[in-house]
Copies of this chain bind each other. A is one copy, B any other.
Amino acid sequence: MTRKKVKLAFITNDSARKATFKKRKKGLMKKVSELSTLCGIDAWAIIYNPYENQPEVWPNTMGVQCMLAEFKRMPEMEQSKKMVNQESFIRQMIAKASEQQKKQSKENREKEMTEHLKEINKRIEAFKKEASTSSSTADVSQVAAPPPVEQKPVVELGLEGMQRTQTEWFNDCMNNNISEQQIGFGHGDEMIMPNFSDNHNTGV
């Protein structure tokens, strides 16, 4: 919003909409990374850009790519089914997964893949210990809100515009066909990234 206070409504002009999308996507990415840095939050972001055929990922860790790609597969399989029917939902998932299976298990990917998860799980375990002192685990819905435990939070962010299907992207991920660099994210000068060793600036 500048030069004119843009009217907050759908931009009908195609090229204008695309331009706005690009600019704002970049801004959003930056905001996420800043939040990550400033608040010590382990953050990641994926944007399935509707105007490109490869998603943008930040930070460019393969584990994050695959993990969220995994997440993204779920809606597709839900096609005509109801989300609430969790059992049939999962059956479909198994079917798809077994097709996938022969294409996976590259050792060198394991390490990266579990990188973030380990962090998360450590926190979950820590939290469980804390929570178990205050209530039973049987009926979770009745459990009182646990006492505030100060711990590093995890931020997760996905932005997705459908261009390829989720599964296609996942396949590519599993087949190691990730193109080197699709991150367009040049953040400012003094950015400090405490959590990731593989952060980098591209941008331009």
Contacts and interface: CB of A to CB of B under 8 A. Distances in A.
Given A28-B35, A31-B31, A84 B97 contact: no
A140 B168 contact: yes
How many monomers of this protein are in the complex?
2
Interface string A83-100: 111110010011001101
A153 B157 contact: no
A82 B110 contact: yes
A105 B124 contact: no
Residue of A6, A157, A177 ringed by the most chain B CB atoms within 10 A? A157
A90 B84 contact: no
A158 interface: yes
Nearest to A7: B190
Given A98-B87, A110-B84, A41 B156 contact: no
A66 B89 CA distance: 14
Given A75-B121, A117-B78, A157 B157 contact: yes
14 contacts: A8-B188, A9-B38, A10-B194, A20-B38, A53-B145, A63-B83, A82-B114, A83-B113, A87-B97, A123-B162, A127-B164, A146-B164, A153-B163, A156-B159
Q: Which 10 A-B pairs have the closest CB atoms?
A: A153-B161, A50-B153, A141-B175, A53-B145, A140-B171, A71-B71, A83-B113, A9-B192, A156-B160, A10-B40
Given A140-B167, A154-B160, 7 more contacts: A9-B190, A20-B39, A78-B114, A82-B113, A83-B113, A87-B97, A124-B166
Interface of A: 6-11, 14, 17, 20-21, 24-25, 27-28, 31-32, 34-35, 37-41, 43, 48-51, 53-54, 63, 66-67, 70-72, 74-76, 78-80, 82-87, 90, 93-94, 97-98, 100-101, 104-106, 109-110, 113-114, 117, 120-121, 123-125, 127-128, 131, 140-141, 143, 145-146, 148-168, 171-172, 175, 177, 187-188, 190-192, 194
